[in-house]
């Protein structure tokens, strides 16, 4: 059974592959699903960042007939052409094109903005969208620094707009069921929660020379507040994740999803201390900057949370290449995107004492539902009701996961165990505090309330 399960997990993980590929929906089927809706009942959407997960988010929303896409924004005209052709397969006429998101925000007909850009743009785009009166669905992680995350949390708190973060696992029923079991107390005292992402499909990022900006690309707009650098295809589109200027590597790419559930299950806030060890061990000479191998320990009162990631390796914990494990005295619960299981603790000495029955092994699958689709439906319901309490991943959920994930990256960069001062909202080590800050360039200004 173990071998079969591991084989299934490995095959299904290839479909997930850490990208938006698992969520792409045949546009021809979308055309059959959509029903005609009156103009007064339509929710008009504009998408900023159309290449990857942003378009998956839009495709999911378009399964809701009331949603109408009227604007696409991307710095790459080739992507705009490609996505417009995709939409035409669904019988959707060409939306208006933009290369500058600020022009899109001036469109009074847009009700909702989807932000699917690289991380270094999220703070500016979210805060500008709120000031333009738009509701926002923002991809994770919410920011590329702790300072930006703080600003975004404050902006949303001062706004009456609906903001959903793309941590769609919060809407996935089997994840919710698993956490309800964790909170039941049946696992006994939980001393350790583990979250991990072992990504065997990730290959080296080959070294390539700088080159001319491709035709149709507004490269200055792509860089935005990031440091000025010559164009290099390694830093463009999907691979931006592995460069500190734009993102935080696997720690913030997969980590916000999985660490989010570790925090949720443990009802955990800010760690007392963080330490991280790792580096570029799999592909030491490739072009990426972020660590391809990392172990991070977050210290709490009475338990720890451990994050692990590695590229080029599929053999993760419990035969799963990604997941979260809650390790209790009575047993362990393991959950990932394929389902969850309970593993009884065979050596526990307390079975039968004080009425404690031995735990039974059990496993549960996903139920065959799409967490992303449930997540976008949840968002649109909140938009219609104007009730932010209905959101399954409001800004606070995105903030908590991003903050802890960025803490892990700060610990890695300092090379030291670092301590968090909750009252002062900063690290006790000044060198670590420098890594909390955003570094805006090219005339772009950090938004302030």
Q: For residues 222 and 236, what is the distance between their CA atoms, to the nearest angstrom?
A: 9
Contact 397, 260 (CB under 8 A): yes
| Predicted pLDDT of residue 348 | 66
Distance of CA 70 to the CA centre of its chain: 25
- HEC assignment per residue over 380-426: HHHHHHCCHHHCCCCHHHHHHHHHHHHHHHHHHHHCCCEEEECCCCE
CA 438 to chain centroid: 19
Helix axis angle, 395-414 to 255-266, nearest 10°: 110
Q: How many residues does the chain have?
A: 449
- The strand ranges marked E within 49-92 are 67-73
SS in 3 state form for 155-167?
A: HHHCCCCCEEECC
Q: Cβ contacts of residue 355 below 8 Å, gap of 6+?
A: none
Closest CA to 64 of 382, 437, 324, 342: 382
| Inter-axis angle of helices 173-183 and 255-266, nearest 10 | 30
Burial environment of residue 39 by CB neighbours within 10 A (0 to 12, 13 to 18, 19 or more): exposed
Q: How far is CA 326 from CA 15, 117, 332, 339, in A?
A: 26, 33, 6, 14
Tell me if domain 14-168+373-394 and domain 171-369+399-434 are identical in fold. Answer: no
**What's the first-to-final CA gap in the chain, in angstroms?**
56
The closest alpha carbon to 210, from 287, 106, 294, 321, belongs to: 287
> Domain spans of the chain?
14-168+373-394, 171-369+399-434
What kind of fold does domain 171-369+399-434 have according to CATH? Dihydrodipicolinate Reductase; domain 2 (3.30.360)
- Sign (positive/negative) of CA torsion 150, 152, 158, 160? negative
Can you give the pLDDT of all 449 residues of the chain as single tens digits?
A: 333 434 433 333 333 434 455 567 788 888 888 888 888 889 999 999 999 999 999 999 999 999 999 999 999 999 999 999 999 999 999 999 999 999 999 999 999 999 999 999 999 999 999 999 999 999 999 999 999 999 999 999 999 999 999 999 999 999 999 999 999 999 999 999 999 999 999 999 999 999 999 999 999 999 999 999 999 999 999 999 999 999 999 999 999 999 999 999 999 999 999 999 999 999 999 999 999 999 999 999 999 999 999 999 999 999 999 999 999 999 999 999 999 999 998 876 665 666 667 789 999 999 889 999 999 999 999 999 999 999 999 999 999 999 999 999 999 999 999 999 999 999 999 999 999 999 999 999 999 87
Taken in order 389, 393, 396, 400, the sign of the CA dihedral is: positive
CA separation, residue 407 to residues 6, 168, 302, 396, 440 (Å): 32, 22, 20, 16, 20
User: Quick one: pLDDT at residue 278?
Assistant: 98
Nearest to 277 by CA among 321, 323, 309, 241: 309
What backbone torsions phi and psi does residue 72 show, to the nearest 5 degrees? -125, 135
Cβ-proximal residues to 239 (8 Å cutoff; 6+ apart), any chain:
205, 233, 288
Going by C-alpha positions, the residue among 166, 129, 150 that lies closest to residue 392 is 166
- In this prediction, residue 10 carries a pLDDT of 39
CATH superfamily of 14-168+373-394: NAD(P)-binding Rossmann-like Domain (3.40.50.720)
104: region left, alpha or beta (phi > 0 left; psi from -120 to 50 alpha): alpha
For the whole model, what pTM was predicted?
0.93
Give the model's pLDDT for residue 40: 85
């Amino acid at each position: 059974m173990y071998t079969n399960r591991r084989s299934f997990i490995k095959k299904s993980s290839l479909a997930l592959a850490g990208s938006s590929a698992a969520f792409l929906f045949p546009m021809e089927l979308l055309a059959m699903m959509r029903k005609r809706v009156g103009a007064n009942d339509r929710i008009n959407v504009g998408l900023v960042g159309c290449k990857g997960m942003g378009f998956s988010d839009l495709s999911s929303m378009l399964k809701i007939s009331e949603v109408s896409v009227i604007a696409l924004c991307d710095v790459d005209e080739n992507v705009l052409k490609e996505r417009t052709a995709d939409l035409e397969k669904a019988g959707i006429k060409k939306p208006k094109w933009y290369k500058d998101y600020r022009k899109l925000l001036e469109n009074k007909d847009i009700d909702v903005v989807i932000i699917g850009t690289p991380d270094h743009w999220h703070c500016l785009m979210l805060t500008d969208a709120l000031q333009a009166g738009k509701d926002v669905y923002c991809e994770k992680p919410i920011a590329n620094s702790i300072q930006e995350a703080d600003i975004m949390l404050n902006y949303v708190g001062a706004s009456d707009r609906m903001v959903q973060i793309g941590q769609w696992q919060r809407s996935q029923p089997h994840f919710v069921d698993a956490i309800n079991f964790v909170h039941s107390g049946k696992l006994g005292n939980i001393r350790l929660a583990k979250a991990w992402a072992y990504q065997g499909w990730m290959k080296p990022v080959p070294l390539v020379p700088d080159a001319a900006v491709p035709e149709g690309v507004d490269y200055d707009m792509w860089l935005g507040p990031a440091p000025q650098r010559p164009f290099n295809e390694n830093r463009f589109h999907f691979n931006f994740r592995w460069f500190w200027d734009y993102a935080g590597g696997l720690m913030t790419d997969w980590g916000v999803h999985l660490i989010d559930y570790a925090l949720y299950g443990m009802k955990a806030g800010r760690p007392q201390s963080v330490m991280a060890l790792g580096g570029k061990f799999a592909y030491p000479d490739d072009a990426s900057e972020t660590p391809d191998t990392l172990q991070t320990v977050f210290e709490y009162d009475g338990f720890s949370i451990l994050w692990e990631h590695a590229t080029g390796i599929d053999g993760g914990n419990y035969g799963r290449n990604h997941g979260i494990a809650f390790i209790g005295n009575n047993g362990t619960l393991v959950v990932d995107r394929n389902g969850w299981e309970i593993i009884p603790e065979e050596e526990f000495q307390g079975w039968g004492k004080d009425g404690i029955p031995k735990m039974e092994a059990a496993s549960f699958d996903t139920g065959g539902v799409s967490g992303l689709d449930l997540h976008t439906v949840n968002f649109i319901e909140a938009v219609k009701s104007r009730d932010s309490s209905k959101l399954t991943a409001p800004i606070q959920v995105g903030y908590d996961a991003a903050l802890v994930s960025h803490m892990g990256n700060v610990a890695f960069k300092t090379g030291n165990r670092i301590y968090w001062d909750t009252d002062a909202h900063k690290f006790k080590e000044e060198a670590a505090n420098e890594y909390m800050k955003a570094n805006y360039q090219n005339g772009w200004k950090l938004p302030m309330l």
